[in-house]
Structure 1
């Protein structure tokens, strides 16, 4: 008797070696009793479409998509996008259904779920979103749906922030609570209740070039990046008056949990998985003998 091969899933990106998605989905599978294999796929910068096609042709069932391919993934699944993916203009979750490629964006849902876990201000809050890339695209709709009173996109290149705003409005997302500016115009007189860094600046051990006095009393700061120590943005935020600063490890787990639910129809508990990843980060790196 030949045993069936386990269901195959993967994360695709460039680079992708650092991804913790295999660890997360393996823990979710153990928690829910699923049997699966979850791999890392390094796609050439000019070879994303071919990599995706080869994966599904070989029997793969689902892909998570990371930088820099979320816009290409949106184009590939253009005929079968979820409302979240259509509004965001970016896709981080792919699967085949009835012979067609489908796409969703779970980044914003994962972000909001983690912000709620942290008791960060959302409903009625003034929120600054730093960055205008794929991560920001995925966050806009869920942040507005969470009830924020004002949401400003601030980006190093102001034209990109304005383009993101225009793209959002073109998708029917016109909202008087939303505006866009360059980094120099990021501040408001009363301060922000929540500032979210959606740039990859922390990967370069730097913080965005933000003006001072951004934070209202009791404000939170949230970096979508994460690490064993506070990120440069988190340190910048605390120095500028943020009452609390958080990294994005919980968002990573939260978006993965939503992808897992899409693929398997099961909703895993992210909290023990988040705790396991924190332990991983705290463990000293092995030194080769």
Structure 2
């Protein structure tokens, strides 16, 4: 049985949809580690108090999803270099009475694409749509994976500018205006980290001139939330189209390793979730 001090959780708002408890339960069973992992709803204005209460009750670590990743960053005493670059935290570790933050989103995305799918990201010209917590998490990892250039576009251009400035690679990372997408040429990698498809929002729209014969289209979301972008990508003739389920499982494995010192085998967990695809209804 799990001990009272081995408590973990995922925090978000809303959170009832989360697959993280199922994923971490599978990892725990696979590795023989006793684990109490819950989903905790945390409205942004109450997140700090909820996290403090969780720690007081023996919480040892947690995952953070929408819309709390940037708020989690502000609540950490220490953060990893990749979290600092992102300005966002998706993994919390309790050490010496303080929260330490990391961001495993980018590592999860790259591992899914290059490991599970055998794709080579090197030399690709990449377009990142969005500049919120999810985009900030994956941008540094894409640069580390060897992409040639990263163009960041957001409907609020100031956020795209801030993300590019934080990356600190002016020769490889650039921000552009959303209404100027048709003038940006084509890309071998397009990553959607926008809110298109969430909360019943209308479909995704962008010029098909962004696509070429090699384009890999990736949505960091999964399930119904990813449908608008993936439909656009298929209609535009993208060579490969990928949703965010694999990224979700891989980033969870990175978190699990931070907490327990062992990285689980993600293959069986991913396949089990994919087989239950009718239950994949939203994003994290």
Instruction: Give me the TM-score of the superposition, normalised by structure 2.
Output: 0.92
Cα shift at 1:12: 0.6
CA contact (8 A) 1:205 1:232 kept: no
Q: Distance in 2 between matches of 1:187 and 1:146?
A: 26
Partner residue in 2 for 1:37: 36
Distance in 2 between residues matched to 1:283 and 1:134, nearest whole Å: 25
Corresponding position: 1:202 with 2:197: yes
C-alpha change, 1:189 and 1:32, in structure 2 (3 Å) is same
Q: 2:162 and 2:2 mapped to 1: Cα distance? A: 51
> How many residue pairs were aligned?
279
Shift of 1:282: 3.6
Picking from 86, 107, 112, the partner of 1:109 is: 107
In structure 1, C-alpha distance between the alignment counterparts of 2:54 and 2:4, rounded to whole Å: 15
Which residue of structure 1 aligns with residue 80 of structure 2?
82
How big is the alpha-carbon RMSD for the aligned residues of Structure 1 and Structure 2? 2.1
Give the secondary-structure state (helix, strand or coil) at the position aligned to 1:231: helix
Q: Secondary structure at the match of 2:59?
A: coil
**1:200-279 to 2 correspondence within 5 Å?**
200-203=195-198, 204=200, 206-227=202-223, 231-279=227-275
Query: Contact conserved, 1:202 with 1:225, CA < 8 A, in 2?
Result: no
How does 1:36-185 map onto structure 2 within 5 Å?
A: 36-77=35-76, 79-116=77-114, 117-166=116-165, 168-169=166-167, 173-185=168-180
Secondary structure of the residue that 1:266 maps to in structure 2? coil
Partner of 1:12: 11
Q: How far apart are residue 121 of structure 1 and its match?
A: 4.1
Q: 1:234 to 1:121 in 2, by over 3 A?
A: farther
Post-superposition offset of 1:200: 2.3
Cα-to-partner distance string for 1:6-55 (whole Å, 9 max, x where unaligned): 72110011110110000000000011111111101011331000010000
Q: Unpaired runs of 5+ in structure 2?
A: none
Superposed structure 1 runs of 4+ greater than 6 Å apart: none
Deviation readout 1:85-139 (Å, 9 max, x if unpaired): 1111000111111222100001111111111122344111111110010011111
Structure (1 or 2) with the larger CA radius of gyration: 1
Contact kept, 8 Å, 2:234 with 2:241, in 1: the verdict is yes
Q: Could you tell me how far 1:75 is from its partner in structure 2?
A: 0.6
The structure whose residues are more often helix, as a share, is: 2
Specify whether residues 120 and 208 from structure 1 end up closer, same or farther in structure 2 by C-alpha distance, changes over 3 A only: farther
8 Å CA contact 1:223–1:231 kept in 2: the answer is no
Distance (Å, rounded) in 2 between the aligned partners of 1:13 and 1:106: 16
Give the drift of 1:280.
Answer: 2.0
In the superposition, relative to structure 1, how do residues 3 and 95 fare at CA in structure 2: closer, same or farther (>3 Å)?
closer
Q: 1:235 to 1:278 in 2, by over 3 A?
A: same
Could you list the runs of 5+ residues in structure 1 that have no partner in the other structure?
Answer: none
Asked whether the 8 Å contact 2:193–2:220 carries over to 1, the reply is: yes
Shift of 1:156: 1.8
CA contact (8 A) 2:12 2:67 kept: yes
